[in-house]
């Protein structure tokens, strides 16, 4: 495969995706045609791009391509290397499977503009994500970055009638542009120092003093961290990801967040190694985000919001690994640094796989039932057996259960922590131990979150009329989910292959200095024996289960035992709220408590009571919202300047002209 | 002991000895309570009976309900292959197998919880929520214990961490750390195996139960699998403690005998605790678990000093 030209394939994929953005618009109101054109181009673009990125990653080639376009003021400069290839693979994969899913998921009327609108935004998002990963010029990068933000914003508000979606969309737009402001500043500073917008020239930043490095590090951290949903800049994420159509949620959660991680890593390659405390800060932020995200995920009543918070958790884990890598980069702790980096990079892939699977599955549930409320679901394992099995695989993978992919990346992170703890002494060892314990808590919390989500939504009796009507979804949606599930299994069973693919970007980021880490990676038990054993055991268990079913038939027709109560109603079964309550009351700190609104009747006779709990994000409510309210109030005082009368504006013009004249003369 | 021998020893203890531990606990409790108590081999009789019985299965349930007991049976079996049983080295051993060990147990928890929720019963949902919640507080203790042992033995493999050579690293004041580790492992044993004071395997009040309430609806051979799996999990937890306590005489036979004796002693200890203590109120359980984690932290501090 490595003899294919990755650059040509990459360009072809971008052109296919861009044409996939424009052609459906040309189809006008004919939705079926728009669907066909949009989905086919996305699939073709995804496939071609996937081929190109694999050949890039396996071949290990570094390709640069330039095309000056003076009249447009753009310097089209692409740079493809194994790091870009590593991130391009999940991007192109999910572009394809998301498009496949969308053909089943979008319920379009025969004639409307919706189809064209959707595919325009979808393929534009796809093309700009791919371009972000390949761009090697600041302006091109920012252009693609902006295209990614805008097209995903339009997709978040795809359901224009849904007010909460519109609100989420605005929040997202504001947040992403606040982050982008830092990036503009970052690239402007880089331009000022190096005199070029091209990434290749940024190598000159290598000679920066420590203060300059820290400055750039923080600009990148805030700018890209906002986009990636790093705690505490994540508050836009749960809103936007739950409001978007499910395949878009999968794309945004699975890969769009990762483009920010890629860009962060890319900026790091231009800088001299930042001081170790920067790495520790990043790790602490990541772990705090992981704990915070997963704790809130166990409290959400909305299926997709819960998954979105789990994305905050996983992004936190990735940044945790990256931060520890930066902390140990100088080789103080043997091969630990490499384990952290490999774990974080592999988690990028793993999260793309299982989160897309879970969002697709959640989308199928929403499609079949019409509700995202977990406590109205139930009994779906019986009504949507295939979706349910695929969701269970995704749930197992995200909980890092063997033999699925999540375990592998967590294993690397744990092993790195153990190693670092072993190599260091005294207080430092204690810090690593503390991190291990917190990571273990994250793991147990994820299990709580997943069992709550899947156990309540899939098992038992339907808790609402919506879920009793549910039917299995169509083949396109199932195929998209199966692809992700299959890859979760493949990475889990043959982690050796995945680690081989991680090796190229790993070498690029560490500059070939593996410092004893090579043996560490080689010493991992992920050889063929691991694969065969886990495969054999999984098959054996499935066969045993089948054999159990083939055995003597059980006594038919009994309902679940209800302590002697013979008419158990679905309303008596456990709810999602109840499932998370014990953890909320006994384990979490008070700031995570959900807000309660109740209307207590004051009359004598029994009336309707209402009692609602709604989980609120403490960062959003206590930090972000007050800040913006205050900013809006402050801005409001300046509004008086806008009198709305012509003579006032003419006075402004006059005053400005005089001032400028004075300044021109004076200087 | 060679590989075949240690696999056989593992399987012999797991299948043969595991149900006896439950019998020992029950017998000790009965003796202290002044009762005659069930025969030592009661669980063997129960299992033999249950595997001959027909299943009664709720119409609400699906395959997930059947998968729970099966995974709950298979996982302790698999996990114990990563742990040395006294003189018998672990048949499967590699760097970082302690992480696999923890996540294998999580796999069993995952399926048990889902099987419980599959019944749609509110009691079982309640038990499932408790199991998942308390695991958040119990898991850190396991990891701290493993950290301490890994640090002392200088290895990330359970086989070396729980070998006499590994334990020999607890010299001088570090011996106190070893005692703390053993105490914490004992608490973990009580939590993970749903013993008093955390949970009462013999209670009949669904509202207060944790693990037992999750398996209320299982019957026949499925219940048999659950009981067998639980017995093996108890044995596995006791193994961890016995490995740290066992003497190293150099003779395989003596070592094996001492190891089995220690396993039975752990069971007696569990029986004594159960006789002496009452079940904790549910809201006290998290506090005790956090306390145990702190205690295991002290072991760590002693070591890092």
Instruction: Name chain B contacts of A561, Cβ cutoff 8 Å.
Output: 58, 121, 216-217
State yes or no: pLDDT of A469 exceeds 90.
no
Query: Do A589 and A642 share a domain, yes or no?
Result: no
Secondary structure (3-state) at B201: coil
Q: Tell me, yes or no, whether A150 lies in a domain.
A: yes
Report the residue from B78, B97, B216 with minimal CB separation from A561. Answer: B216
Q: What does the pLDDT look like over B205-262, one tens digit per residue?
A: 666 677 788 888 888 889 999 999 999 999 999 999 999 998 888 888 999 999 999 9
What whole-number distance in Å separates Cα of residue A509 and Cα of residue A565? 63
CA-to-CA separations, A220 to A226, A227, A275, in angstroms, rounded: 10, 11, 15
Q: Residue A1: its pLDDT value, please?
A: 45
- Mean pLDDT over residues A425-454, rounded? 91
Look at chain B and report how many structural domains it folds into: 1
CA–CA dist A141, A123 (Å, integer) = 17
Give the span between the Cα atoms of A201 and A66, in whole angstroms. 14
A53, A186: one domain = yes
Q: Quickly state the pLDDT bin for A502 (edges 50, 70, 90).
A: confident
In which element (H, E) is residue B35 found?
none
Question: What pLDDT, on the 0 to 100 scale, is given for residue A516?
Answer: 52
Whether omega before B197 lies within 30 degrees of 0, making that bond cis, reads yes
> Is A563 within 8 Å of B206 when comparing Cβ atoms?
yes
Q: Which of A595, A627, A643 is a domain's end point? A: A595
CA-based nearest distance A638→chain B, Å: 51
**Residue B124: closest C-alpha in chain A:** A574
A333, A469: one domain: yes
Residue A157: inside a domain? yes
Average pLDDT of the residues in A41-68: 88
Q: Which residues of chain B have pLDDT under 50?
A: none
Binary contact (B62, A436; C-beta < 8 A): no
Residues A591 and A631 in one domain: no
Of A27-36, A310-319, A543-552, which gets the smallest average pLDDT? A543-552
Same domain, A283 and A198: no
Total tally of structural domains belonging to chain A: 3
Which residue in A has a C-alpha nearest to residue B137's C-alpha?
A441
What pLDDT is attached to residue A587?
A: 85
Indicate if A189 and A286 belong to the same structural domain: no
pLDDT of residue A296: 93
Q: Which domain holds residue B28?
A: 3-304
Same domain, A453 and A488: yes
pLDDT greater than 90 at residue A483: yes
Q: Which helix (H) or strand (E) holds A285?
A: helix A276-297
Q: Rg (Cα) of chain A, in Å, rounded?
A: 26
For residues A501 and A408, is the Cβ–Cβ distance under 8 A? no
High-pLDDT (> 70) share of chain A, %: 96
State the first-to-last Cα distance of chain B, in angstroms, to the nearest integer: 37
pLDDT band of A178, cuts 50, 70, 90: very high
- Can you give the pLDDT at residue B205? 67
Looking at per-residue confidence, does A60 or A200 come out higher?
Answer: A200
Q: Which residue has the higher pLDDT, A458 or B303?
A: A458
Give the closest residue to A525 by CA, choosing from B81, B90, B163, B97.
Answer: B97
d(CA A81, CA A408): 25
By Cβ distance, the residue of A379, A525, A586 closest to B95 is A525
Same domain, A53 and A103: yes
Of A400, A415, A451, the CB nearest to B103: A400
CA distance B234 to A103: 51
Give the dihedral of Cα atoms B90, B96, B97, B103; nearest 10 deg. Answer: 160
**Is residue A340, in this structure, part of any structural domain at all?**
yes
- Residues A33 and A164 both lie in one domain: yes
Task: Convert A340-355 into a string of H (helix), E (strand) and C (coil).
Answer: HHHHHHHHHHHHHHHH
| Dihedral angle over CA of B17, B19, B25, B30, nearest 10 | -120
Q: What is the pLDDT of residues A579-610, one digit of tens each?
A: 888 888 888 888 888 888 887 777 777 777 88
The mean per-residue pLDDT over the stretch A68-74 comes to 72
A3-7: long-range contacts, CB 8 A cutoff, minimum separation 24 = A3/A55, A4/A51, A4/A52, A4/A55, A5/A52, A5/A55, A6/A52, A6/A53, A6/A55, A6/A56, A6/A59, A6/A61, A6/A63, A6/A80, A6/A85, A7/A52, A7/A63, A7/A65, A7/A78, A7/A80
Which residues have CB under 8 Å from A298's CB, separation 6+?
Answer: A306, A445, A448, A449, A452, A580, A583, A584
Highest-confidence segment of A36-40, A54-58, A501-505, B123-127: A36-40
Q: For A613-623, how does the pLDDT look when each residue is reduced to its tens digit (9 = 90+)?
A: 888 888 888 88
Q: Could you give the 3-state DSSP secondary structure of residue B57?
A: strand
Inter-CA distances, A20 with A13, A27, A39, A246, A646, Å: 10, 11, 8, 20, 47
Interchain CB distance below 8 Å, B114 and A459 = yes
For residues A145-169, give the mean pLDDT: 91
ipTM metric: 0.94
pLDDT at A540 over 80: yes
Give a yes or no: residue A565 inside a domain.
Answer: no
**Which of A206, A231, A261 lies at the terminal end of a domain, its last residue?**
A206
Mutate to test the interface with A, among B52, B57, B99 (most CBs of A within 10 A): B99
CA distance A555 to chain B (A): 5
Q: Name the pLDDT band for A2 (thresholds 50, 70, 90).
A: very low
What's the whole-number mean pLDDT along residues A250-271? 93
CB pairs under 8 A between A and B: 228
Q: Residue B206: what pLDDT? A: 62
Task: Report the half-sphere exposure of B304 (CA within 13 A, side-chain side).
Answer: 23
Q: Sort out which chain A residues have CB atoms less than 8 A from B123's CB and list them.
A: 563
> Average pLDDT for residues A107-129, to the nearest whole number?
89
The answer to whether residues A176 and A300 belong to one domain is: no
Among A191, A206, A221, residue at a domain's last position: A206
Same domain, A98 and A165: yes
Q: Indicate the pTM of the whole model.
A: 0.94
Which residues contact residue B114 at a Cβ distance below 8 angstroms, ignoring those fewer than 6 apart? Answer: A392, A451, A454, A455, A459, B64, B68
Q: Which residues neighbour A4 within 8 Å (Cβ) at sequence distance 6 or greater?
A: A51, A52, A55
The rounded mean pLDDT for chain A is 88
DSSP string, B128-189: HHHHHHHHHHHHHHHHHHHHHHHHHHT-SSHHHHTSHHHHTT--TTHHHHHHHHHHHHHHHH
Euclidean distance between CA atoms A221 and A203, whole angstroms: 19
- Find, among A99, A108, A54, the residue nearest to A251 by Cα: A99
- Cβ neighbours of A342 in B, within 8 Å: none
DSSP readout, A407-444?
HHHHHHHHHHHHHHHHHS-HHHHHHHHHHHHHHHHHHH
The per-residue pLDDT for A3 is 56
Tell whether A42 and A189 lie within a shared domain.
yes
Which range marks the domain in which residue A457 is found? 273-510+576-595
């Amino acid at each position: 495969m490595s003899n294919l030209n990755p650059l040509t394939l990459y360009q072809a994929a971008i052109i296919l995706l861009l044409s996939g953005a424009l052609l459906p618009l040309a189809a006008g109101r004919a939705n079926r045609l728009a669907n066909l054109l949009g989905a086919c181009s996305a699939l073709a673009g995804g496939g071609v791009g996937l081929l190109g990125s694999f050949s890039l990653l396996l071949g290990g080639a570094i390709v640069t391509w330039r095309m000056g376009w003076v009249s447009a003021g753009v310097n089209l400069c692409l740079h493809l290397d194994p790091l870009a290839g590593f991130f391009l693979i999940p991007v192109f994969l999910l572009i394809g499977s998301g498009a496949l899913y969308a053909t089943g998921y979008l319920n379009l009327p025969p004639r409307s503009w919706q189809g064209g609108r959707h595919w325009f935004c979808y393929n534009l998002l796809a093309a700009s994500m791919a371009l972000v990963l390949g761009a090697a010029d600041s302006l091109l990068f920012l252009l693609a970055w902006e295209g990614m933000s805008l097209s995903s914003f339009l997709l978040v508000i795809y359901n224009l009638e849904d007010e909460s979606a519109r609100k989420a969309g605005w929040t997202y737009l504001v947040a992403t542009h606040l982050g982008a402001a830092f990036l503009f500043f970052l690239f402007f500073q880089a331009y000022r120092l190096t005199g070029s917008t091209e990434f290749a020239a940024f190598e000159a930043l290598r000679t920066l003093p420590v203060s300059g490095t820290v400055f750039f590090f923080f600009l990148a951290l805030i700018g890209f961290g906002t986009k990636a949903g790093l705690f505490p800049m994540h508050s836009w994420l749960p809103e936007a990801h739950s409001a978007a159509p499910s395949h878009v949620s999968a794309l945004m959660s699975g890969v769009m967040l990762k483009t920010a991680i890629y860009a962060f890593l890319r900026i790091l390659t231009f800088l001299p190694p930042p001081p170790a405390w920067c790495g520790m800060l990043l790790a602490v932020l990541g772990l705090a985000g992981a704990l915070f995200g997963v704790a809130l995920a166990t409290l959400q009543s909305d299926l997709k919001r819960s998954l979105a918070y789990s994305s905050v958790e996983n992004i936190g884990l990735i940044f945790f690994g990256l931060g520890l890598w930066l902390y140990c980069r100088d080789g103080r702790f043997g091969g630990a640094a490499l384990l952290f980096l490999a774990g974080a990079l592999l988690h990028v892939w793993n999260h793309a796989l299982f989160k897309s699977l879970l969002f697709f599955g959640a989308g199928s549930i929403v499609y079949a039932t019409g509700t995202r409320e977990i406590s109205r679901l139930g009994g779906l394992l019986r009504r949507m057996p295939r979706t349910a099995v695929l969701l269970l695989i995704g749930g197992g993978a995200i909980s890092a259960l063997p033999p699925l992919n999540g375990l592998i990346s967590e294993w690397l992170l744990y092993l790195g922590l153990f190693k670092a703890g072993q190599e260091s002494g005294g207080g430092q060892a204690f810090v690593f131990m503390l991190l291990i314990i917190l990571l273990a808590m994250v793991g147990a919390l994820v299990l709580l979150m997943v069992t709550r989500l899947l156990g309540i939504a899939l098992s038992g009796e339907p808790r609402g009329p919506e879920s009793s009507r549910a039917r299995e979804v169509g083949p396109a949606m199932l195929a998209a989910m199966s692809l992700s599930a299959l890859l979760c299994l493949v990475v889990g069973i043959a982690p050796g292959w995945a680690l081989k693919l991680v090796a190229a970007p790993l070498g690029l980021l560490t500059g070939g200095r593996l410092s004893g880490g090579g043996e560490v990676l080689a010493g991992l038990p992920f050889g063929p024996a691991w694969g065969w054993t886990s495969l054999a055991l999984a098959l054996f268990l499935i066969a045993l289960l089948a054999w159990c079913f083939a055995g003597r038939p059980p006594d038919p027709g009994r309902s679940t035992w209800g302590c002697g109560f013979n008419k158990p109603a679905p309303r008596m079964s456990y709810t999602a709220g109840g499932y998370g309550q014990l953890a909320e009351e006994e384990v979490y700190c008070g700031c995570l408590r959900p807000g309660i609104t109740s209307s207590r009747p004051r009359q004598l006779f029994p009336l309707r009571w209402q009692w609602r709990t709604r989980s609120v994000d403490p960062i959003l409510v206590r930090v972000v919202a007050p800040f913006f309210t205050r900013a809006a109030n402050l801005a409001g005082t300046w509004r008086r300047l806008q009198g709305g009368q012509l003579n006032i504006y003419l006075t402004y013009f006059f005053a400005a002209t005089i001032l400028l004249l004075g300044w021109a003369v004076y200087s | 002991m060679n590989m075949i021998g240690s696999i056989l020893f593992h399987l012999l203890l797991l299948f043969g000895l595991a149900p006896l531990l439950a019998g020992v606990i029950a017998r000790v409790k009965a003796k202290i309570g002044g009762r005659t108590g069930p025969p030592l081999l009661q669980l063997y009789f129960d299992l033999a009976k249950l595997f001959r019985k027909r299943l009664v299965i709720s119409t609400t349930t699906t395959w997930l309900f059947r998968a729970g007991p099966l995974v709950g049976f298979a996982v302790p079996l698999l996990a114990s292959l990563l742990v040395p049983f006294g003189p018998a080295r672990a048949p499967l051993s590699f760097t970082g197998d302690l992480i696999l060990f923890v996540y294998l147990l999580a796999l069993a928890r995952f399926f048990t919880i889902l099987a419980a929720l599959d019944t749609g019963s509110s009691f079982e949902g309640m038990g499932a929520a408790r199991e998942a919640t308390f695991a958040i507080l119990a898991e850190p203790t396991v990891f701290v214990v493993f950290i301490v042992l890994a640090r002392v033995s200088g290895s990330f493999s359970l086989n070396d961490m729980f070998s006499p050579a590994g334990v020999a690293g607890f010299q001088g004041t570090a011996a106190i750390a070893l005692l703390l580790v053993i105490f914490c492992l004992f608490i973990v044993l009580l939590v993970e195996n749903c013993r008093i004071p955390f949970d009462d395997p013999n209670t009949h009040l669904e509202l207060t139960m944790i693990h037992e309430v999750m398996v209320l609806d299982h019957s026949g051979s499925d219940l048999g699998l659950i009981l067998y799996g639980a017995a093996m999990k108890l044995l596995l937890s006791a193994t961890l403690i016995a490995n740290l306590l066992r003497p190293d005489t150099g003779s395989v036979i003596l070592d094996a005998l001492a190891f089995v004796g220690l396993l039975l002693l752990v069971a007696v200890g569990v029986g004594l605790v159960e006789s002496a203590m009452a079940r904790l109120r549910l809201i006290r359980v998290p506090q005790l678990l956090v306390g145990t984690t702190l205690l295991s932290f002290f072991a760590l501090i002693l070591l890092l000093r």
